[in-house]
Chain A
Amino acid sequence: MRLPKGFQFSQGSLQDYVDCARRFFLRYVQRLAWPAVESEPILESEHYAQLGEQFHKMIQQHLIGVPAEKISAMITAEELREWWENYLEYYRQQAMANQTQLFPEIILSAPIGNHRLMAKFDLISLQKDGSLVITDWKTARKPPQRIWLERRLQTRVYPYLLSKAGDFLNNNHPIYPEQIRMIYWFANFPDQPEVFSYDRKTMKADQERLEYLVEAIEMGDEKAFHLTDDKKHCQFCVYRSLCGRGIQASNLDTDEESVEDITSFDDRLDIDQIAEIEY
């Protein structure tokens, strides 16, 4: 499949491919804008997404030197205040300021197949013991199951990419998989972070899987991008009308089977989102 010029793989696009190859084709090959509702209730989803975005920005502000009290003074939403206080407590517990070198909002990229794989990290910290910790701030409303997280491509891509492309964050020394840990920290559940360690064996398996996925995409013709058999994915997919897979979006709160807050994990990073826009 000829991918658009400049296309780069990300955990979001690969996750789309794994969930539904057709979705990948429509979104990244055809670049088809299809503005249907992704999940209900729409206003609440939007509100949550905005709060999540604001929360990420506040952490970045804090980590680049804006005093916490100045940031705190600007909070207007109660939920955000709670997340923020949880974060400050976590920051103190981890003693991030004293013990580590911090790299917030950093992008890494490495070759894969005939393309590149890229990811934007919320935070990478170089610890005094030489280990590197990836922290991903999550504002999910429900704590996801560990097994679900483990399978997510984000958990596979981030540590892999840090080892492959992060030498410059480690004073230009290679980063061995054993040095890496990935933490999902939940603003709503600050005491239940999920920590994933990394090792050579896992990295080898990740590399094989990522290369397999990229090759399958590069080699496949349009017919290979078939619709998923798991119709649950269609409930939260904007292309459902195009594929004849339903009318309304499902409700994240009432759908018992949808344990995970899919939208909050749906990081569809691409070059257009990273680069600055013209004002």
Chain B
Amino acid sequence: MKLTPDQLHIIEISPGEKIFLEGAAGCGKTTVGVEWLLFLMAQGVPASSILLLVPQRTMAKPYLEAMQIPGVSAGGFVAAMTMGGMARRMVDLFWPLVADQAGFARPDLPPTFLTLETAQYYMAQIVTPLLSQGLLDSVVIDPNRLFSQIIDNLNKAAVVGFPYQEIGERLKGAWNGEPEQAHIYEDAQQCANHFRSFCLEHNLLDFSLQMEVFTRRLWHLPPCRDFLNHTYRHLLAENIEEDTPVAHDLLREWMPEFESALLIYDTDGGYRRFLGADPQSAYSLKEQCTSQACFTNSFVKTMPIEALENDLSEILNPESHKPAHRSENIPKNQSDPRTALAHGFFRYYPEMLDWIAGQVQELVQYGLPPGEIVILAPFLSDALRFSIMHRLEDLHIPCISQRPSRSLREEPVTQCLLTLAYLAHPEWKDSYPLSKFDVAYALMQAIGGMDLIRSQLLSEIVFHPRKNVPQLTSFSIINPAMQERITLQLGDKYETLRLWLEAYQQEPPQELDHFICRLFGEVLSQPEFGFHTNMKSGEVTANLIESIQKFRWVAGDQLVQAGKSTGLEYLEMVRQGVIAAQYLRSWETDINDAVLISPAYTYLISNRPIEVQFWLDIGSRGWFERLYQPLTHPYVLSRHWETGRPWTDAEEISASQDTLARLTQGLLRRCRQKVYLGLSILGEQGYEQHGPLLSAFQRLLQQWQTEGEM
């Protein structure tokens, strides 16, 4: 790759410099970062002494890939981590030195680190009794969303750097609605207090406590500080604008210790604000650096895209609009943003999806690689993901979806495994009465070649909830005509499964994850069973097993002491939607050869410029509005909001406008050629929609039409 003189200057700057590099997306900052890293290693700096700090793991990808090529010199390995990852690692290593002073009740016992799932579980255990006492009674949302918002508040306190005891006061101070509703923030505070006390009492560390123990305790403890200073001598911090104020505070103190550093700042970023990202605090690190550089030329955008970005920005947020990168003297025919736009307007949502699939097909037929196309939506529901993927797969176009989370419990494979788990454990009968349909659905998944009609016929005959005890009877007692209808081959497989479950019941019950592991290996993945050739079933089963295992390792001992079954408790939690509601994919799919379907923010964070973008459903207010989160607030729980100042509607609108302007600008700065706009008058839910993004495009097109007529 040919580097510009500006890029080369930074890469080869004298050793010992601490550089602050800023610029918009697409200006070549990450390229400099990668080359800086390789240059440092080529100069003999041990890779293991370089810390690559990223706000999110995916952002380390270009660096890790660059270091994995054979040409990179032999040596150690660059440590790529997030601040959260570092906190977790340090707490784990130095726990014996910090547990006591951090206030844990059993400093003589090891810590238990909570995942988001297990934190949600404990929050549910703690908050549910409080809800029945009347706390948060006026908040009408799904309890699981309520639990996650209380967890979110604790996380915000930890990463913004204020005492968690101030959460309620800050939120209440900003409340601008009915005064009698303000008590919900006191209630939310009470829930957070109970949760934190419980964690301290049982050595449980959720993300917020990991961060607090690290930043407030360990960071000031000489053995930990010495270890970090000794291990990491050079720093590369990527996308610091997406990191949190506490991470910036720590870097501010740490900077003098590094021999060299490169801090990379995206001037228009801050997309992770809902996770505590703070571009302002990141920018203050500029003063810590001995050298500053600013890139302004985009390597990505074409002139029409640039014109589109400017015009859209002017419409969406005229007050803060700065045509900073607008090229002078753009020929008129190249500055018309309409040449970078295509659109399809429809009445019904499915028509819009059909149009998108058709346009994608056309592009691919004309030679555009599928990997150069992204389909973006403000949110990506399972239904929407399925609808698009189904259409593209029908057209034989490879596609993948990128979502931070997907519902594990909704997967047919999961439902099959959990139904079979209930069947194998008759003692759990009171928890969930299985229906014939549950069994039919499970059999259809479990046995290769079993269709819904046969599985329903079979379950009607063989499934008997006798005395409320679920039981399967033998295929051999079915009348021959029906046996033939179901087929003997399928009957044989059913018998194998039934006998396996029966044999299992003769032995002492096993852990639920072990049961599923065995069931998968010994039956369901065997030849002629449903999971044998279904490769995705292995992935879903592995994710489920991992989820159960983590739950058991964290909560198992306490549940056993309380006389409860860990497996049954897990199943209960799944049914209530507390856990298994989301999971991360175990392997990151190689996305280069497939059309990417992604929520807009997830795509932005992946830092991947692309030829063509499809913006789905531009009439949706989802492009503009925040999620409804009555118990938390990303702006109020930041360092820039004065406690006691009310958050008004005007501020909400202004923030939403700013968010939409940043979002569209960020997307366009990652687009090389063209944006396709999809609109349906009736949205996914069937309601008419006319959001601000649609209005902005209408205005833009009208302006250019008028200009053309003049």
A interface residues, Cβ below 8 angstroms from B? 4-8, 30-37, 42-43, 54, 57, 60-61, 64-67, 70-71, 73-74, 76, 106-116, 118, 164-165, 167-168, 172, 238, 240-242, 244, 247-249, 271-272, 274-279
Contacts and interface: CB of A to CB of B under 8 A. Distances in A.
A77 B114 CA distance: 22
22 contacts: A6-B65, A6-B68, A35-B542, A42-B510, A64-B93, A65-B223, A65-B226, A66-B94, A74-B110, A108-B75, A108-B76, A111-B71, A111-B72, A115-B68, A116-B69, A167-B75, A168-B48, A238-B521, A241-B521, A241-B525, A275-B81, A276-B81
Given A35-B538, A275-B57, A241 B93 contact: no
B68 A106 contact: no
Interface stretch (B83-91, B310-318, B683-691): B83-91
Contacts of B525: 34, 36, 241-242
Interface stretch (B427-435, B586-594, B672-680): B586-594
B615 interface: no
A33 to B, nearest CB: 4
A217 B543 CA distance: 29
A276 B113 CA distance: 14
B581 interface: no
A155 B504 CA distance: 41
Q: Which interface class (under 10, 10 to 19, 20 to 34, 35 or more) fits B?
A: 35 or more
Contacts of A248: 521-522
Given A42-B518, A279-B116, 10 more contacts: A35-B541, A43-B511, A65-B227, A67-B96, A74-B108, A109-B76, A168-B76, A276-B88, A279-B84, A279-B113
Contacts of B47: 109
B451 interface: no
A168 B50 CA distance: 13
Contact of A32 (B85, B535, B543): B535
A278 B84 CA distance: 7
Nearest to B48: A106
B662 interface: no
Contacts of A110: 74-75
Contact of B89 (A108, A109, A271, A276): A276
Contacts of A108: 74-77
A272 B64 CA distance: 11
A34 B68 contact: no
A94 to B, nearest CB: 22
A66 B321 CA distance: 54
A35 B520 contact: yes
Contact of B68 (A33, A116, A164, A168): A116
B46 interface: yes
A238 B48 CA distance: 34
Across the A-B interface, give the 9 residue pairs with the lowest CB-CB distance, nearest first: A36-B521, A276-B85, A110-B74, A276-B81, A165-B74, A111-B70, A70-B96, A33-B542, A107-B77
B228 to A, nearest CB: 10
Contact of B70 (A70, A106, A107, A115): A115
B70 A33 contact: no
Contact of B115 (A54, A76, A279): A279
A248 B116 CA distance: 34
B76 A70 contact: no
Given A35-B538, A61-B96, A277 B57 contact: yes
Contacts of B541: 33, 35
Contacts of A64: 93, 223, 227
Contacts of B67: 109
Contact of B93 (A31, A36, A60, A109): A60
A274 B89 CA distance: 12
Interface of B: 44, 46-48, 56-57, 60, 64-65, 67-72, 74-77, 79-82, 84-86, 88-89, 92-97, 108-110, 113, 115-116, 207, 210, 223, 226-227, 510-511, 514, 516-518, 520-522, 525-527, 532, 535, 538-539, 541-543, 545, 586-587, 590, 592
Contact of B77 (A111, A115, A274): A274
Nearest to B515: A42
A37 B76 contact: no
Contact of B210 (A67, A274, A279): A279
Given A37-B521, A111-B70, A278 B535 contact: no
B521 A249 contact: yes
Contact of B76 (A32, A107, A114, A164): A107
B80 A275 contact: yes
Nearest to A103: B48
Given A248-B522, A276-B57, A37 B96 contact: no
B109 A111 contact: no
A271 B76 contact: no
A60 to B, nearest CB: 7
A172 B73 CA distance: 13
A168 B60 contact: no
B70 A113 contact: yes
A109 to B, nearest CB: 6
Contacts of A60: 93
Contacts of B542: 33-35
A31 B587 CA distance: 8
B511 A76 contact: no
Contacts of B76: 106-109, 165, 168
Nearest to B113: A279
Nearest to B108: A73
Contacts of B532: 241-242
A167 B108 CA distance: 40
Nearest to B49: A168
A275 B96 contact: no
B88 A279 contact: yes
Contacts of A172: 44
Contact of B80 (A6, A240, A276, A279): A276
- Which of B75, B539, B587 has the most CB atoms of chain A within a 10 A radius of its CB? B75
B64 A66 contact: no
A42 B48 CA distance: 36
B616 to A, nearest CB: 26
Contacts of B96: 61, 66-67, 70-71, 73-74
Contacts of B79: 276
A118 B95 CA distance: 29
Contact of A109 (B77, B88, B526): B77
Nearest to B46: A168
B74 A111 contact: yes
A107 B79 CA distance: 10
A106 B47 CA distance: 11
A132 to B, nearest CB: 14
A66 B116 CA distance: 29
A61 B79 CA distance: 18
A43 B518 CA distance: 12
Contacts of B57: 275-278
Contacts of B113: 279
A87 to B, nearest CB: 16
Contacts of A76: 109-110
A35 B587 CA distance: 14
A107 to B, nearest CB: 4
A198 B46 CA distance: 24
B135 to A, nearest CB: 28
Contacts of B80: 275-276
A166 to B, nearest CB: 8
A4 B590 contact: yes
Nearest to B585: A33
Contact of B97 (A66, A165, A275): A66
Contact of A36 (B68, B94, B226, B520): B520
Contacts of A271: 64, 68
A168 B48 CA distance: 10
A274 B57 CA distance: 12
- Which of A73, A106, A249, A279 has the most CB atoms of chain B within a 10 A radius of its CB? A279
Given A241-B525, A275-B64, A164 B517 contact: no
Given A64-B93, A65-B223, A275-B81, A43 B68 contact: no
Contacts of B82: 276, 278-279
Given A242-B525, A276-B89, A164 B74 contact: yes
